[in-house]
């Protein structure tokens, strides 16, 4: 820490050393948390590949590698500046700090892995039928423009915190809306425009297309659950003293919400279908995690359990509604987990969120102001992601195209897009 930045009242050398040490610990915590979030890419790969056909496993691996590699460069070169640069619009709507702008290596790395997460959400929804080139370009656009501009509205003192028409300051501690619902709404547009997988609908009715390896999907969710402790806990952006206590509480409520989400989905499918469903239980855990991401710094333990439980129930009904009523084929339930539960996790702060010991929600003495602010934020992020994704994908559809041919889809994207297969022995038996 520079001496120029120290408060004037600090004179004792021991106090200076203590503050510098706290800053170092905070930076270390951010780096460790970012590494955990980086590891979530492996979780996303396992969930997506496990829940889909084995003939597309290499394609899914390639997409997840692309998200972190291309996303890192795109966010470093332009995205971070659009998110954390100076306000150049006069109202907190648009920020810019120059190409390769950075306030520090730890913060840049931490924010980079968040950007890659937003891009990966889209991958699962459109798995098995989308051109790799199209996905690659969309990943760049999402990490360089769509996600970072929207992120600056909240995390860089943007209009969601400062506009005079806001009834209260919008709260999204770790990104239920900024990361997850932005990715989820983009996935909704992409899945709708790309269309369903061959064989998904027969006479207008959805047909289950089971994934090839539920153990991969289960391991993937465990990895994501672990990584989420860095995702939410690292968003405290500091460690030491009160910050360490706060980050520890964030991690605790994150775990409680995930557990409640898993139990909610498990019990609901057990009651509805007579047997507990693994894939829905896995999505329930993820739904619980997304449901607490915005409010993990403003939620008590009981509130976190209730938020996660409702998220786990909500995701089951949402997946069914999107598949059966909207007839949109989401291969892994990404729209419901990240888009719908991202919106729920943002709104719930306005229902029973807390600020210290005070309730700020409608049901715990805070009135309707916070709920109003949360609703404005939910709508703003949904509108932004839907419109920008639609415009970009329309351009891509009229140029390079969105979807592979029917023959390529039936053969599998591993061979047709990459000239490789994941399971040589299994594929050879299928050919024979």
Residue 105 lies in a domain: yes
CA dihedral 189, 371, 37, 126 (to 10 degrees): -10
Q: Could you tell me the pLDDT band of residue 399, with boundaries at 50, 70 and 90? A: very high
pLDDT at 405: 97
Q: Could you tell me the pLDDT band of residue 101, with boundaries at 50, 70 and 90? A: confident
At 215-261, the pLDDT tens digits run: 999 999 999 999 999 999 999 998 888 999 999 999 999 999 999 99
On whether the CB atoms of residues 171 and 327 are closer than 8 A, the answer is no
Residue 5 lies in a domain: no
Average pLDDT of the chain to the nearest whole number: 93
pLDDT at 21: 53
Residue 421 lies in a domain: yes
pLDDT at 13 exceeding the cut of 60: no
pLDDT at 115 exceeding the cut of 50: yes
Q: What is the DSSP string of 391-423?
A: HHHHHHHHTT-SB--HHHHHH-HHHHHHS--S-
At 180-214, the pLDDT tens digits run: 999 999 999 999 999 999 999 999 999 999 999 99
Domain extent for 411: 10-431
| Helix (H) / strand (E) containing 16 | helix 13-50
pLDDT at 8: 36
Cα dist from 264 to 103, 151, 220, 322, 419, whole Å: 41, 30, 20, 19, 42
User: Which CATH number does the domain housing residue 384 bear?
Assistant: 1.10.3430.10
pLDDT at 3: 34
pLDDT at 10: 37
pLDDT at 22: 57
Q: Which two tokens stand for residue 199?
A: 């064989």
Q: Could you tell me the pLDDT band of residue 432, with boundaries at 50, 70 and 90? A: very low
Give the span between the Cα atoms of 181 and 65, in whole angstroms: 22
pLDDT at 63 exceeding the cut of 60: yes
Q: Which two tokens stand for residue 268?
A: 């609901």
Cα dist from 71 to 120, 145, 301, 389, whole Å: 10, 11, 34, 17
pLDDT at 24: 81
On whether the CB atoms of residues 49 and 122 are closer than 8 A, the answer is no
**Whole-structure pTM value:** 0.93
Residue 426 lies in a domain: yes
pLDDT at 429 exceeding the cut of 90: no
Residue 3 lies in a domain: no
Give the span between the Cα atoms of 159 and 177, in whole angstroms: 15
Residue 350 lies in a domain: yes
Residue 2 lies in a domain: no
Give the span between the Cα atoms of 341 and 335, in whole angstroms: 9
pLDDT at 315: 98
pLDDT at 104: 87
Residue 4 lies in a domain: no
Give the span between the Cα atoms of 292 and 303, in whole angstroms: 9
Count CB atoms within 10 A of the CB of residue 245. Answer: 11
pLDDT at 425 exceeding the cut of 70: no
Q: Could you tell me the pLDDT band of residue 430, with boundaries at 50, 70 and 90? A: low
pLDDT at 170 exceeding the cut of 60: yes
Overall domain count for the chain: 1
| Helix (H) / strand (E) containing 205 | strand 205-206
Pick the residue with more confidence: 265 or 430?
265
Give the span between the Cα atoms of 115 and 123, in whole angstroms: 14
pLDDT at 137 exceeding the cut of 80: yes
Average pLDDT over residues 30-57: 97
């Amino acid at each position: 820490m520079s001496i120029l930045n120290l408060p004037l009242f600090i004179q004792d050398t021991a106090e200076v050393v203590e503050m510098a040490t706290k800053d170092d610990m905070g930076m270390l915590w951010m780096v460790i948390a970012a590494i955990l979030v980086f590891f979530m890419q492996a979780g996303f790969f396992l969930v997506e590949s496990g829940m889909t056909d084995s003939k597309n496993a290499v394609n899914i691996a390639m997409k997840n590698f692309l998200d972190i590699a291309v996303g890192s460069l795109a966010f470093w070169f332009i995205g971070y500046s659009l998110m954390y640069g100076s306000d150049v619009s006069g109202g907190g709507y648009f920020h810019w700090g120059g190409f390769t702008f950075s306030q520090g290596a730890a913060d840049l790395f931490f924010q980079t892995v968040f950007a890659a997460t937003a891009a990966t959400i889209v991958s699962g929804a459109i798995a098995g039928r989308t051109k790799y080139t199209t996905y690659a370009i969309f990943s760049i656009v999402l990490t360089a423009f769509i996600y970072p501009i929207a992120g600056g509205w909240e995390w860089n003192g943007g209009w969601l915190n400062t506009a005079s028409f806001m009834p209260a300051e919008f709260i999204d501690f770790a990104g239920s809306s900024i990361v997850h619902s932005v990715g989820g709404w983009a996935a909704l547009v992409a899945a709708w425009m790309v269309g369903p997988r061959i064989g998904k609908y027969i006479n207008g009715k959805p047909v289950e297309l089971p994934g090839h390896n539920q153990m991969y999907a289960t391991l993937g969710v465990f990895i994501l659950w672990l990584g989420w402790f860095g995702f939410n806990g690292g968003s405290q952006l500091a460690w030491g003293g009160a910050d360490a206590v706060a980050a520890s509480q964030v991690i605790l409520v994150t775990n409680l919400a995930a557990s409640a989400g898993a139990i909610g989905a498990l019990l609901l499918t057990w009651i509805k279908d007579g047997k507990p469903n693994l894939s829905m239980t896995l999505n329930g855990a993820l739904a619980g995690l997304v449901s607490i991401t915005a409010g993990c710094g403003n939620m008590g333990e009981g509130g976190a359990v209730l938020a996660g439980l409702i998220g786990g129930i909500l995701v089951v009904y949402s997946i069914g509604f999107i598949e059966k009523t909207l007839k949109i084929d989401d291969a892994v339930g990404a729209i419901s987990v990240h888009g719908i539960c991202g919106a729920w996790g943002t709104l719930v702060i306005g229902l029973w969120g807390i600020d210290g010991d005070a309730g700020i929600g409608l049901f715990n003495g805070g009135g309707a102001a916070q709920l109003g602010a949360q609703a404005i934020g939910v709508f703003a992020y949904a509108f932004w992601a839907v419109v920008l994704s639609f415009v970009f994908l329309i351009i891509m559809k009229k140029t390079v195209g969105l979807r592979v041919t029917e023959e390529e889809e039936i053969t599998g994207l591993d061979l047709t897009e990459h000239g490789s297969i994941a399971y040589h022995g299994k594929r050879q038996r299928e050919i024979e």
